[in-house]
């Protein structure tokens, strides 16, 4: 309970910050964008992983103001990148199902884009499969409105939740992220190889750009590149890092 109330005051106490993980084009090696990920600098516990607090935030409803903070901070950061190395980078933001369904979400996103000056094409909203619930016309409508604004949508953690192939068919998504739990077992684990191959092939035939996540080894990268994945994200390339370290990392590649 103490944890929940500490979490509640974390925004006001400016204890949240963002880290950014590069997403790289497999073919060209160019950076397409970054995924923004939240971190909590707790006064006693140090840096707390979102694995430890996103669930609590969802249960308490705090995910809505927290998610709003993330979206605004990520867009503000990306809009501040005006140098040639970063001016075209997209920023991917994780949005929880509850946040997507919260009243006024589309208007909020629109306001953030206006206030920060970030063009809609540079914002990618990452949704997990649990955001795609059957007979949820509100959620579907929200996604469509975001699309109409020019925002890109990514399906995160694909294949780990209630994977329903109808979602892949019906959702106006742009990116499909192959979950780390498959990538971890590549290459060599025959069944994970088969599932990954099927996900990539299906995604590509539905015109999704395929993002391989959690890539840690050259062998994984080679396997996923050969399957035709478009983008890659993982510790092999870069860990999530604060904005200043990202700048240094980009400069180092140039
Ligand atoms: O960055 P890390 O691997 O620690 O993230 C762990 C989990 O927390 C991942 O599932 C990731 O999607 C989620 N996560 C990270 N940042 C955010 C955020 O800003 N909003 C939401 N809803 N989830 C996040
Ligand atoms: O669920 P989501 O895809 O949003 O989670 C992204 C999380 O995955 C980030 O928090 C990041 O810390 C983590 N991550 C990214 N690349 C790697 C990787 O190569 N290995 C591992 N173990 N985790 C990774
Ligand atoms: Mn994600
Ligand atoms: Na994911």
pLDDT per position as a tens digit, 142-157: 999 999 999 999 999 8
Look at residue 217 in the predicted model and tell me its pLDDT: 98
28-72 pLDDT, tens digit each: 999 999 999 999 999 999 999 999 999 999 999 999 999 999 999
pLDDT tens, position by position, 213-228: 999 999 999 999 999 9
Q: Which atom of ligand 1 is nearest to the CA of 128?
A: 12
Ligand 2 pocket test, pick from 94, 234, 238 with the greatest ligand atom count within 8 Å of Cβ, gives: 234
Above 90 in pLDDT, residue 174? Answer: yes
- Rounded to the nearest whole angstrom, what is the distance from the C-alpha of residue 231 to the centroid of ligand 3? 14
d(CA 200, CA 182): 12
Would you place residue 164 in the very low, low, confident or very high pLDDT band (cuts 50, 70, 90)? confident
Specify the CATH number for the domain of residue 219.
3.20.20.450
> Shortest CA distance to 158 belongs to which of 102, 120, 214?
214
Tokens of 192: 């994970």
The answer, yes or no, to whether ipTM is higher than 0.95 is: yes
In the block, residue with structure tokens 């919260």: 102
129 band by pLDDT with thresholds 50, 70 and 90: confident
- The predicted model scores a pTM of 0.97
End-to-end CA distance of the chain: 48
Which residues have a Cβ under 8 Å from the Cβ of 46 and sit 6 or more positions away?
A: none
- For 16, the domain range is 2-253
Does the beta carbon of 51 sit less than 6 angstroms from any atom of ligand 1? yes
Across the chain, mean pLDDT equals 94
Domain total of the chain: 1
pLDDT tens track for 83-101? 998 999 999 999 999 999 9
Sign of the CA dihedral with 17 first, then 40, 213, and 170 last? negative
pLDDT of residue 139: 85
């Amino acid at each position: 309970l103490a944890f929940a109330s500490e979490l509640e005051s974390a925004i006001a106490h400016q204890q949240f910050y963002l880290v950014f993980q590069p997403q790289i084009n497999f073919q060209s090696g160019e950076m397409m964008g970054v995924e923004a990920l939240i971190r909590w600098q707790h006064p006693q516990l140090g840096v707390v992983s979102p694995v430890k607090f996103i669930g609590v935030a969802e249960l308490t409803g705090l995910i809505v103001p927290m998610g709003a903070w993330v979206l605004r901070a990520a867009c503000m950061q990306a809009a501040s990148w005006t140098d040639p190395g970063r001016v075209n980078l997209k920023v991917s933001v994780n949005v929880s199902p509850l946040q997507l369904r919260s009243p006024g979400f589309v208007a909020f996103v629109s306001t953030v884009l206006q206030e920060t000056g970030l063009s809609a094409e540079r914002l990618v909203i990452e949704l997990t499969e649990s955001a795609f619930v059957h007979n949820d016309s509100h959620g579907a409508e929200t996604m469509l409105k975001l699309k109409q604004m020019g925002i890109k949508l990514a399906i995160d953690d694909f294949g780990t939740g209630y994977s329903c192939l109808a979602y892949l068919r019906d959702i106006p998504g742009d990116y499909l992220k192959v979950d780390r739990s498959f990538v971890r077992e590549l290459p060599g684990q025959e069944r994970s190889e088969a599932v990954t191959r099927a996900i990539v092939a299906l995604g590509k035939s539905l015109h999704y750009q395929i993002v391989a996540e959690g890539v840690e080894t050259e062998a994984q990268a080679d396997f996923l590149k050969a399957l035709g994945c478009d983008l890659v994200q993982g510790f092999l390339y870069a860990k999530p890092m604060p904005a200043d370290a990202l700048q240094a990392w980009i400069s180092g590649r140039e």
